[in-house]
Structures are given as C-alpha cells and as structure tokens.
Amino acid sequence: MEKKTCQRCGQEKTLDEFHYRARSKDGRQAYCKDCNTAQAAEWGVDNIEKRRLYQRRTYQRYKIKFAVKDKAHKAFARGEIEWKPCELCGCKESEMHHEDYNKPYDVTWLCHQCHMALHAAKREAARKVRR
C-alpha cells in the first residue's frame, strides 16, 4: 500500500487514510481523514461563535437605539426638545432621527418618507464601504 504524508498533521499514512480527490496528482486529498474531520469540527464551532457574536451585536445595537429613542421622546415630552417640520421637505408629519446615538438629545426632524430614504442611502453607502 502506497503511503502519503498529511500536510496538516505531518503523519505518514496509507492512501486509504485519505479521501479521494479526482483533481489532485495522486487522486487523494492533501489532508488525512482524521484532519478533515478535525477541521470540519473547528469550522463548525467557528461558525456558531460568529453567529452568536453577530446576534449579540445586532441585539446591542437594537438596545442602544431603543434607549436613545426613549430618552429623546421623554425629553420631548418634558419640552426639552423642540418639534420641527421635516428638515428635508418641510412636511409637518415629522419624526425624530438620530445622526449619532451617542447624542440622544441631538435630533434631526424628518418625515417618515425622508427618514426611510435617508436610512436606505446610509445602508447603501455602508454596503459599498464594506466591499
């Protein structure tokens, strides 16, 4: 039986310890079966971690957003924030927008349509940056 050295663990194993791979020279994968299993397991763990982290971040962002909006609405109710019509189109059906969630009392007044358009534009810009 022919032998082959695994490129991951460095152990010399017989060919039947390697999975088939039609495109490679000797018709076998570079990693042995054990290493394949180990790596698949690692990736699985990794992905779960990533997903958890992503969920936590989304939740954190949601929590911050909610707390900031709550603060602003309470300040508005106390008369500390002045109502204004939409700053973009002058429409009277305006709502609060936060340019910076670190400044809860720093609000921009926008109507629902302008508000959604602004966020869509921001998402689009963020998507381009990430590329």
96 binds Zn ion (CB under 5 A): no
SS (H, E, C) the chain: CCEEECCCCCCEEEHHHEEECCCCCCCEEEEEHHHHHHHHHHHHHHHHHHHHHHHHHHHHHHHHHHHHHHHHHHHHHCCCCCCCCCCCCCCCCEEEEECCCCCCCCEEEEEHHHHHHHHHHHHHHHHHHHC
Q: Restricting to residues 20-79, name those near Zn ion by CB under 5 A.
A: 32, 35
Binding status of residue 8 toward Zn ion by CB under 5 A:
yes
Q: Minimum Å distance from CB 40 to Zn ion? A: 13
- 114 part of the interface to Zn ion, by CB under 5 A: yes
Q: How far is the CB of 77 from Zn ion (least distance, A)?
A: 19
Of the candidate spans 48-56, 57-65, 106-114, 121-129, the one that interacts with Zn ion by CB under 5 A turns out to be 106-114
Q: Does residue 97 bind Zn ion (CB under 5 A)?
A: yes
